[in-house]
Amino acid sequence: MCHPAYWVVFSATTALLFIPGVPVRSGDATFPKAMDNVTVRQGESATLRCTIDDRVTRVAWLNRSTILYAGNDKWSIDPRVIILVNTPTQYSIMIQNVDVYDEGPYTCSVQTDNHPKTSRVHLIVQVPPQIMNISSDITVNEGSSVTLLCLAIGRPEPTVTWRHLSVKEGQGFVSEDEYLEISDIKRDQSGEYECSALNDVAAPDVRKVKITVNYPPYISKAKNTGVSVGQKGILSCEASAVPMAEFQWFKEDTRLATGLDGVRIENKGRMSTLTFFNVSEKDYGNYTCVATNKLGNTNASITLYEISPSPAVAGPGAVIDGVNSASRALACLWLSGTLLAHFFIKF
């Protein structure tokens, strides 16, 4: 044990040596020889090692100008700081559960032949990237502007990027920044966006945000249908919309409903069907399919037209070379009974 006054002088002397412009050259043959800079992750332990020789009479490790250990005596009140080795050739301490505020210069200070000498090592603390705050899933109307935010911490400071996941490889990156701004958003810009925070410490932290873009219905499929009297007829109408469209069917100004006039209306996802169980003459005509959501509505006119009953629907035996069933139906619609007679002779 030394008299405390000794250490006051000792540390004052070493403090003088910290003045910038007096760098400790690495490769210096003289002791003490601290290791190269020490890099550890937050939460891990850092070992500060100092190589000495038997000419050394006094040793200490300092955090900036504060003595942590002098010989075997602990000066630091921090329980995370412990001594590891104190031999004539090595003097090492350990800092457990390292945090970012521990980053900085540490100094091994020795006394040889009454000359104080120092060697400095930088403790560098790394923190894996972590996304701290990210926008929630959002629903907007087409044409509006959207800003997503992704805040990440880490050491070194992580690089933050945004990617549109629903988009083909290669055109994925939409922002190289914490903010993703989309003005006048279009329906094809809906979907999942991925924020990625990257530094070279650990695997990137990745989170996803979903953008839903509302748009009014548009009818993508509405086909006229021919059916003969007494048969089952189906009219169908397909609409894309967000939120999903609701459908109504009209004949002239009359709204149709399941159960009335032998029809059934079925809505399944983007598709609505109007089924006639037993088509009669009065069913032929134009129908209107109306697709509605909260952003608007649209409609399409679909015709249920008459086709004559024909052997064409009698089965596979009725196939005529080079004429498909659709054109056959048309032929039946327009051609006279002589053609039908021809068929009957054939079979």
Ligand X SMILES: *[C@@H]1O[C@H](CO)[C@@H](O)[C@H](O)[C@H]1NC(C)=O
**Which residue among 34, 52, 81, 110 contacts ligand X (CB under 6 A)?**
81
299 near ligand X, judged by CB under 6 A: yes
Side-chain-side CA neighbours of 18 within 13 Å: the count stands at: 19
Q: What is the DSSP letter of 320?
A: B
> Contact at 8 Å (CB) between 130 and 197?
yes
CA dist list (Å): 85 to 67, 110, 118, 126, 156? 17, 15, 18, 25, 31
Considering the rule CB under 6 A, would residue 76 count as an interface residue with ligand X?
Answer: yes
Give the binding range for ligand X (CB under 6 A) out of 12-20, 107-115, 156-164, 295-303. Answer: 295-303
Q: Is 95 in the site for ligand X (CB under 6 A)?
A: yes
Of 288 and 310, the one with the shorter C-beta distance to ligand X is 288
- Per CB under 6 A, 286 contacts ligand X: yes
- Does 97 sit near ligand X (CB under 6 A)? no
**Any contact of residue 133 with ligand X (CB under 6 A)?**
yes
Cβ nearer to ligand X, comparing 182 with 302: 302
Mark the segment that binds ligand X (CB under 6 A) among 52-60, 108-116, 284-292, 323-331. 284-292
315 binds ligand X (CB under 6 A): no
The reply on whether position 159 binds ligand X by CB under 6 A is no
CA dist., res. 18 & res. 239, Å (int): 76
d(CA 166, CA 296) in angstroms, rounded, equals 26
| Shortest Å, Cβ 35 to ligand X | 10
Provide, rounded to whole angstroms, the least separation between the CB of residue 319 and ligand X.
27
For β-strands 271-276 and 285-293, DSSP reports them as unpaired
Cα distances (Å, whole numbers) of residue 305 to 30, 43, 227:
104, 77, 6
Kindly give the residue spans of alpha helices, DSSP state H, lying in the chain: 4-17, 325-334, 337-346
* Binding test (CB under 6 A) with ligand X, winner from 57, 97, 258, 280: 280
- Site mask for ligand X (CB under 6 A), range 175-214, x = bound: ----------------------------------------
Q: Does 232 bind ligand X (CB under 6 A)?
A: no
Given the rule CB under 6 A, which of 6-14, 177-185, 278-286, 332-340 is the region that contacts ligand X? 278-286
CB of 332 to ligand X, least distance (A): 20
- For strands 246-251 and 285-293, give the pairing: antiparallel
Q: By CB under 6 A, name the one of 36, 113, 169, 321 that touches ligand X.
A: 36
Site for ligand X in 46-65 (CB under 6 A): 63-64
- Interaction between residue 96 and ligand X (CB under 6 A): no
Contact 158, 173 (CB under 8 A): no
List beta partners, residue 124. Answer: 39
Our CB check for ligand X shows the closer of 31 and 249 to be 249
Q: Which of 128, 126, 191, 121 is nearest to 162 (CA)?
A: 191
Binding residue (CB under 6 A) for ligand X from 32, 33, 70, 102: 102
Compute the least distance from the CB of residue 346 to ligand X, in Å: 28
Amino acid letter at 262? G
Q: Does 301 bind ligand X (CB under 6 A)?
A: yes
Rounded CA separation 73/125 (Å): 26
Handedness of CA 166, 172, 174, 177 (dihedral sign): positive
SS3 283: helix
293 touches ligand X by CB under 6 A: no
316-337 burial: b if 16+ Cβ within 10 Å, else e: eeeeeeeeeeeebbeebeeeee
Angle (nearest 5°) at CA 260 between 255 and 243: 50
**Which residues in this chain contact ligand X in the complex, by CB under 6 A?**
26, 36-37, 63-64, 68, 76, 78, 81, 95, 101-102, 122, 133, 230, 250, 278, 280, 285-286, 288, 290, 299, 301, 303
